[in-house]
Amino acid sequence: MTVDYRAEAEALRDVMIARRRDFHQHPELPFEEVRTAGIVADALHGLGLEVRTGVGRTGVMGLLEGARDGPTVLVRADMDALPVNEENDAPYASRTPGKMHACGHDGHTAVALAVAQMLAAHRDRMAGRVQFVFQPAEEIAGGAKAMIADGALDLNPAASFAVHFWSPVETGRVAIGEGPIMAAADKFVARVRGSGGHGALPHETRDPVVAAAQIVVALQSIVSRNVAPTDAAVLSVGHVRAGEGFNVIPAEAELSGTLRTFRPEVRDLLIERMEAIVTGVAAALGCEATLEVLQLTPQVCNDPDVTAQAREAVAAALGADALGDCVRSMVAEDMSYFMARVPGCFMFVGSGNPRERHALPAPPSPVRPGRGCAAHRGGGAGFGGGALRAAMTGGRPPCAGVARRNGANQQLRRT
């Protein structure tokens, strides 16, 4: 008998929406997800899963055992919110000033709990186990590593799945593609040191503000003049700090930003050119400078075989027309740490409405009331079908070289 995951997800529609709105009203920042974790653990206990709490500080894991021996499949959802104010008058808006589920993790958690409920009802058909991982602190790229350090991969899963609500994709569609789909992310900090003085006497100073400004401009030449047009890379300066007084030239300036790449060779090239520009421009203007680069996450790379299983599951549950075009984004995700060791598929579940215009090119917005049903149903059907198929067929090694290139350790470089 074939399981109709679309119908089962539709039957859980009200439960998913109610849970998501409850999580949305009570957002919790990275490693503070105590209330959310408690609700998740209680729900998993109620389904008869083996539950472990406090994994990676505030993470939760639930293990669903099948009726026969087989592989372990990992299903992951993130739980944390962002430190932003919600400008929304919906009845389920955030009740905590300065905190909001602005990236859809409330929906991810609600959908994963529904998937656990659907699969628990069919455990007698499962060969193997499904390991549900409810992860903290995705927004600061710390939760995945913390959970792995606490044994989240000790069961050696054969395949892994995750979803993200994605407003650029129309509601009712699920975008799935193989290979690298989300970029590796780095943070950089450049510090420029000169000698300060009075703003009216600049000739008596070595002005780090002028040097920092020139560095910002020069850095923008790296991607356009050093990276091949066929490669993707981003170098953005997001923060500049210098001085306090309007008429005082400070002794130091600092700028920080992010690198995004898909290929390690391109990342190495960017860092090499940054080092040359930061130190060289500063020296040309009589200053000294240092550069630090901190690796945050490796790329998210979808395994071809696991991705094929996910596409088949979505097509079977929602119809072939529900499969959207592959999304390839320079946004980063620490699901990459799981997928560097476990072949997986990261899916983008549409939550967008083509009739609406988003004022800012921000990360995908939360699901809104009018489109909650289809987005939740798409996530539940794709998640559930993909996990069950993988539990019965297993997986294969991850994308070539990803585990070797992108081990789970942060790397700090200084010049």
Render pLDDT for 225-260 as a digit per residue (tens, 0 to 9).
999 999 999 999 999 999 999 999 999 999 999 999
Query: What residues pair up with 348 in beta bridges, in sequence order?
Result: 164, 175
Q: Mind listing the pLDDT tens digit for each residue in 318-332?
A: 999 999 989 999 999
Share of the chain above pLDDT 90, in %: 80
pLDDT of residue 399: 42
Q: What average pLDDT score do residues 271-296 get?
A: 98
Q: Mind listing the pLDDT tens digit for each residue in 114-151?
A: 999 999 999 999 999 999 999 999 999 999 999 999 99
* Residue partners of 46: CB distance under 8 A and separation at least 6: none
Q: What average pLDDT score do residues 388-394 get?
A: 51
Q: What average pLDDT score do residues 193-220 get?
A: 98
Query: What residues pair up with 247 in beta bridges, in sequence order?
Result: none
Looking at residue 231, the DSSP 8-state letter turns out to be S
Residue 352 has pLDDT above 60, yes or no: yes
* 2 vs 162: which has the higher pLDDT: 162
pLDDT of residue 148: 98
Structural contact between residues 174 and 382, judged by C-beta atoms closer than 8 angstroms: yes
Residue 174 has pLDDT above 80, yes or no: yes
For the chain, domains (ranges, CATH) are: 5-180+299-405 (3.40.630.10), 184-297 (3.30.70.360)
Residue 366 has pLDDT above 80, yes or no: no
Confidence at 353, pLDDT banded by 50, 70, 90: confident
pLDDT of residue 376: 61
pLDDT of residue 2: 77
Distance between CA atoms of residues 366 and 372, nearest Å = 9
Distance between CA atoms of residues 398 and 158, nearest Å = 10
Residue 196 has pLDDT above 70, yes or no: yes
Catalytic residues: 80, 138
Q: Mind listing the pLDDT tens digit for each residue in 251-273?
A: 999 999 999 999 999 999 999 99
pLDDT of residue 88: 86
Distance between CA atoms of residues 92 and 88, nearest Å = 9
Q: Measuring CA to CA, which residue among 72, 35, 30, 32 is closest to residue 50?
A: 72
Taken in order 183, 340, 36, 115, is the CA torsion positive or negative? positive
| pLDDT, the chain, mean | 89
pLDDT of residue 298: 96
Residue 403 has pLDDT above 50, yes or no: no
pLDDT of residue 377: 58
